[in-house]
Amino acid sequence: MSSEKYEPLTIETLANRLVTVGDICKIVGDDKSKWKIDEVGDGNLNLVYTVSSDSGNIIVKQALPYVRLVGDSWPLPLSRSFYEHEVLVRQAKRDPGSVPEIIYFNKVQAIIAMEMLLPHVILRKKLIAGEYVGGLAQRLGKFCARTAFRGSDLSLQTADKKSDTAMFQGNLALMGITESLVFTEPYFAAEMNHHTDGLDPIVEILRSDIKMKTEAQKMLMKFTANTETLCHGDLHSGSVMCTDDETKVIDPEFGFYGPMGFDLGMLISNYLMAYFSQPAHRESKALAEYQTWILKVIEGTHEAFQHEFKSLWNSERTGILFPKSMFEDQGDSSEVALNEMLEHIWQDAVAISGIEMHRRVLSLAHNADFEEISDTKKRSQLEARNLMMGRELILNNDTIKDVSELTNMARKFNLENFL
Amino acid sequence: MSSEKYEPLTIETLANRLVTVGDICKIVGDDKSKWKIDEVGDGNLNLVYTVSSDSGNIIVKQALPYVRLVGDSWPLPLSRSFYEHEVLVRQAKRDPGSVPEIIYFNKVQAIIAMEMLLPHVILRKKLIAGEYVGGLAQRLGKFCARTAFRGSDLSLQTADKKSDTAMFQGNLALMGITESLVFTEPYFAAEMNHHTDGLDPIVEILRSDIKMKTEAQKMLMKFTANTETLCHGDLHSGSVMCTDDETKVIDPEFGFYGPMGFDLGMLISNYLMAYFSQPAHRESKALAEYQTWILKVIEGTHEAFQHEFKSLWNSERTGILFPKSMFEDQGDSSEVALNEMLEHIWQDAVAISGIEMHRRVLSLAHNADFEEISDTKKRSQLEARNLMMGRELILNNDTIKDVSELTNMARKFNLENFL
């Protein structure tokens, strides 16, 4: 495919445009008449096609020059496709097997062709359907730890870290979306906000909580300034695809240098939202069992994160931070430092969790976990629990000492009725 | 002057090379036979010339491709001159009158020609000589507040902030010097370290303090990752020039995006070192009076910082952080947020102060305040006070609530004998 002017793919034009790419033909064959092409994008931003033939399947993702969810009134640069590709390359290196394999990338056309994950399903759908995923906690806990550690000054050479940090500052439009939609708009009457009928009293509580709003904005300052590591940037349950026992991470176009706790926190909050939404999706024993499993996934994710981070701390600490010359080489343990680092990461993760729980119910882009609940009264009651717990997480990010304190808090809020 | 290959200026070649620059001739005239040229560089890195004639005076600063203090075995990129120029331009805009006026800049030759500050003297020399400077605290407190605030996401448009952050990641060699010489080398037996005879017991206390070393490295993580604002990066008393009542800031080649408290902390620590060194420079009443004045300068600097920062918070908060839409526009005060921000800045400043107090006595580049004390026994005793107070600042950066607690601590350590 030539690299002329950008043009969006259509079902009609895709085959002609991609049949010239050798790496694609290697998988789906070079007889384009046998390609079955479908548009399957259900996200907020991009075009996504599947291309299938007797010999194989691929996914073709193309950025649009605007936000798909809103339309061309909200332009968004195609360069996000370049950043997504750059993040995928780093994630594949830092946590092999965690992300789909890249088959082809075209910067001008903002196209990434990838391995099709089959029979994987978006994790959010599985969580709504009440399906279990073996090894989920372990896989994503490790992913968060490996990408956080190996993208930071604990591991990288500082010159590489700094040039990479500089490059990713260019993904500012995507960071801008997070800065406004996640950290700010939930806390005032922003134009694109919407929320379920009946939630007004809860919204009022949040918007009048000066201390909580201050904490949320302190976290925004960390988001925008603390370039600790290369984050996925959007690690919710819609960015994870699973079978019954395999898990892959997709869609890192929001990749940015930020707090080491960012991805972990966003992931945990999306589990919490799945947890709070469950009473609308199933009943009695199935409900209790599934909610218990979700909290176990949260605990397991955090444990896997800590375990892996500790292991990397001891085996791969080759960056400028906490050098062995200052600790081990002098006969001093660096365990105090490691524990302070884990505490710092956890504190940021807790604050981010709370904020994400707010924006997904109050800001522009909501979660299917709640959105698919047609009984609005029921929905608002469950969302209220989620919002009120989010507030606790933001307010107490510095005192919630471990993950069991967080899951116990979820059990407590799951019994409350705020409306 | 043509922009051919880089060549260091000499007293012999300078006139021929600069007489072609119109803006320079406007000040010192175009008859180069009347130029009086001297090499006056006493810093660690660069060539510095004065060019004087009947009609005027200028300073010509040129970077060398290595560290002057060490020699060509330690290469250092000429690009630091570019970054210095970029910082000077921003500082002049953000705090008009605070820095020398730029007359000419040549990127390839790494030359900046500037207004000569006359009869200004390096502040460190005045502090050693026991000279008073009117308005010092006010001037530098404001400088730190204005540059911190106006270079941050509290003020800048986020796109401008991000592209500037990206650009300054390129000043990595200079950041690298701070990362190793300031934050790390004081705490192990690094090759270029040296310290006064007799200090070994104190050095042992510092190097075996795991908690303190952990705090120092946490601060390094903030230095290298927290791109809160554009810092001067090297704001010690050798980077300040004063008359009896005027103060200017020079030499920002270490400019980088870092913690808002960085410059304030480094400045305070250099006052503290001046304070602790005083008993070797004067006696009795003059000593007591001058030490009292130095502590007043520290207090006044912090007060001026806070006052100016508060004023800018209320009048110029136009960035993405703590937007009025979330506070004032809802009838909510943002004072809680402002106070948390000031506390955050102060905490970083305190930790940086302590670290700078260590590195200036233990690492490569020492301070004249102590170095000019020929009586090594006396010197080591005074340096020991300084080192031990530095340790307190690092260990307790999160509990030292205000500047008077810090100055009271200095009075206490000034009476101790650790050796």
Residue-wise pLDDT tens digits, A7-61: 999 999 999 999 999 999 999 999 999 999 999 987 778 999 999 999 999 999 9
Strands B240-242 and B121-122: antiparallel
Residue B304: the pLDDT is 98
pLDDT (tens digit per residue) in B350-362? 999 999 999 999 9
Closest among B406, B101, B356 to B254, alpha carbons compared? B356
Q: What is the C-alpha R_g of chain A? A: 22
- Do A332 and B210 lie within an 8 Å CB cutoff? yes
Compare all CA atoms of chain A with the CA of B214 and give the residue at the minimum distance: A337
Say whether residue A226 is in contact with chain B using an 8 A CB cutoff.
yes
Q: Which residue has the tokens 């080398």?
A: B185
A180 chain-B contacts, CB cut-off 8 A? 320
B339 chain-A contacts, CB cut-off 8 A? none
Q: Which residue has the tokens 């304190």?
A: A405
The DSSP code sequence of A91-102 is HHHHSTTSSPPE
> Coil, strand, or helix at residue A348?
helix
Both tokens assigned to A278: 């469950």
**Largest pairwise CA distance in chain B:** 68
Q: Is A198 left (phi over 0), alpha (psi -120 to 50) or beta?
A: left
A158 chain-B contacts, CB cut-off 8 A? 172, 175-176, 179, 224
Strands A240-242 and A121-122: antiparallel
- Averaged pLDDT, A367-372: 97
Say whether residue B192 is in contact with chain A using an 8 A CB cutoff.
no
Domains of chain B: 14-115 (3.30.200.20), 121-413 (3.90.1200.10)
- Do A320 and B170 lie within an 8 Å CB cutoff? no
Strands B247-249 and A111-115: unpaired
Say whether residue B326 is in contact with chain A using an 8 A CB cutoff.
yes
pLDDT (tens digit per residue) in B360-410? 999 999 999 999 999 999 999 999 999 999 999 999 999 999 999 999 999
Both tokens assigned to B41: 């560089």
CB–CB of B102/B89 below 8 Å? yes
Quote the CA–CA distance of A163 and B176 in Å, as a whole number: 13
- Do B162 and A172 lie within an 8 Å CB cutoff? yes
Q: Which of A83, A154, A161, A162 to mutate to test the interface with B (most CBs of B within 10 A)?
A: A162
Say whether residue A217 is in contact with chain B using an 8 A CB cutoff.
yes
User: Given B190, B225, B323, which is nearest A227 (Cβ)?
Assistant: B225
State residue A52 phi and psi, 5-degree precision: -125, 145
> Dihedral angle at the C-alpha atoms of A176, B158, B305, B90, nearest 10 degrees?
160
CB–CB of B169/B333 below 8 Å? no
Residue B3: band (very low, low, confident or very high) from pLDDT cuts 50, 70, 90: low
User: Given B166, B207, B214, which is nearest A340 (Cβ)?
Assistant: B214
What separation in angstroms does the CA of B219 have from each of A157, A360, B182, B343, B354? 18, 34, 11, 15, 11
Both tokens assigned to B101: 């006026």
CB–CB of A147/A229 below 8 Å? yes
The strand pairing partners of A111, in sequence order, are A62, A106
Both tokens assigned to B51: 């060019």
Residue A68: band (very low, low, confident or very high) from pLDDT cuts 50, 70, 90: confident
Say whether residue A184 is in contact with chain B using an 8 A CB cutoff.
yes
CB–CB of B99/B250 below 8 Å? yes
Tell me the nearest-neighbour CA distance from B348 into chain A, angstroms. Answer: 14
State residue B48 phi and psi, 5-degree precision: -135, 125
Say whether residue B180 is in contact with chain A using an 8 A CB cutoff.
yes
Q: Looking at the whole model, is its pTM more than 0.90?
A: yes
- Do A326 and B213 lie within an 8 Å CB cutoff? yes
Residue B146: the pLDDT is 98
Both tokens assigned to A394: 């933001």
Residue B44: the pLDDT is 75
> Dihedral angle at the C-alpha atoms of A23, A27, A32, A35, nearest 10 degrees?
-140
- Do B325 and A176 lie within an 8 Å CB cutoff? no
Q: Which of A174, A321, A394 to mutate to test the interface with B (most CBs of B within 10 A)?
A: A321
Compare all CA atoms of chain B with the CA of A184 and give the residue at the minimum distance: B326
B330 chain-A contacts, CB cut-off 8 A? 188, 207-208
Both tokens assigned to B140: 């530098």
- Do B225 and A163 lie within an 8 Å CB cutoff? no
CB–CB of B111/B3 below 8 Å? no
The strand pairing partners of B147, in sequence order, are none
CB–CB of B151/B261 below 8 Å? no
Q: Which residues contact A90 (CB under 8 A, 6 or more apart)?
A: A147, A151, A230
A167 chain-B contacts, CB cut-off 8 A? 166
Both tokens assigned to B155: 């003020």
A332 chain-B contacts, CB cut-off 8 A? 208, 210, 213
- Burial class for B333, CB neighbours closer than 10 Å (0-12, 13-18, 19+): exposed
- Averaged pLDDT, B319-339: 98
Compare all CA atoms of chain B with the CA of A230 and give the residue at the minimum distance: B225
User: Given B179, B210, B326, which is nearest A188 (Cβ)?
Assistant: B326
Q: Which residues contact A179 (CB under 8 A, 6 or more apart)?
A: A220, A223, A224, B158, B320
Say whether residue B176 is in contact with chain A using an 8 A CB cutoff.
yes
Angle at A158 (CA atoms; ends A153, A163), nearest 5 degrees: 110
Q: For the beta carbon of residue B292, count every other beta carbon within 10 angstroms.
A: 13
Say whether residue B79 is in contact with chain A using an 8 A CB cutoff.
no
pLDDT (tens digit per residue) in A278-299? 999 999 999 999 999 999 999 9
Say whether residue A399 is in contact with chain B using an 8 A CB cutoff.
no
Residue B2: the pLDDT is 52
Handedness of CA B342, B348, B350, B352 (dihedral sign): negative
Say whether residue A330 is in contact with chain B using an 8 A CB cutoff.
yes
What separation in angstroms does the CA of B267 have from each of B161, B272, B299, B319? 25, 9, 12, 27
- Averaged pLDDT, B132-140: 98
**DSSP state, residue A44:** S
Residue A81: the pLDDT is 98
Angle at A189 (CA atoms; ends A183, A193), nearest 5 degrees: 70
B326 chain-A contacts, CB cut-off 8 A? 184, 187-188, 213, 217
User: Given A159, A218, A320, which is nearest B340 (Cβ)?
Assistant: A218
Closest among A270, A42, A156 to B169, alpha carbons compared? A156
pLDDT (tens digit per residue) in A245-282? 999 999 999 999 999 999 999 999 999 999 999 999 99
Tell me the nearest-neighbour CA distance from A230 into chain B, angstroms. Answer: 11
Closest among A199, A177, A136 to A386, alpha carbons compared? A199
Interfacial A residues in 267-296 facing B (CB < 8 Å): none
- Do A210 and B332 lie within an 8 Å CB cutoff? yes
| Residue B67 clears pLDDT 60, i.e. is over it | yes
Handedness of CA A100, A103, A106, A109 (dihedral sign): negative
Closest among B65, B82, B66, B83 to B74, alpha carbons compared? B66
Compare all CA atoms of chain A with the CA of B216 and give the residue at the minimum distance: A322
CB–CB of A345/A147 below 8 Å? no
Angle between the B376-395 and B335-362 helix axes, to the nearest 10 degrees?
Answer: 150
- Burial class for B310, CB neighbours closer than 10 Å (0-12, 13-18, 19+): middle
Angle at A117 (CA atoms; ends A116, A122), nearest 5 degrees: 125
Say whether residue A175 is in contact with chain B using an 8 A CB cutoff.
yes
- Do A153 and B224 lie within an 8 Å CB cutoff? yes
- Burial class for B330, CB neighbours closer than 10 Å (0-12, 13-18, 19+): middle
The strand pairing partners of B50, in sequence order, are B38, B59
Say whether residue B52 is in contact with chain A using an 8 A CB cutoff.
no
Compare all CA atoms of chain A with the CA of B213 and give the residue at the minimum distance: A326
- Averaged pLDDT, A114-127: 97
Compare all CA atoms of chain B with the CA of A190 and give the residue at the minimum distance: B325
H helix and E strand count, chain B: 15, 12
Residue B1: the pLDDT is 54
Interfacial A residues in 105-164 facing B (CB < 8 Å): 152-153, 158-159, 161-163
Compare all CA atoms of chain A with the CA of B331 and give the residue at the minimum distance: A208
Compare all CA atoms of chain A with the CA of B188 and give the residue at the minimum distance: A326
Say whether residue B191 is in contact with chain A using an 8 A CB cutoff.
no
Quote the CA–CA distance of A311 and A145 in Å, as a whole number: 10
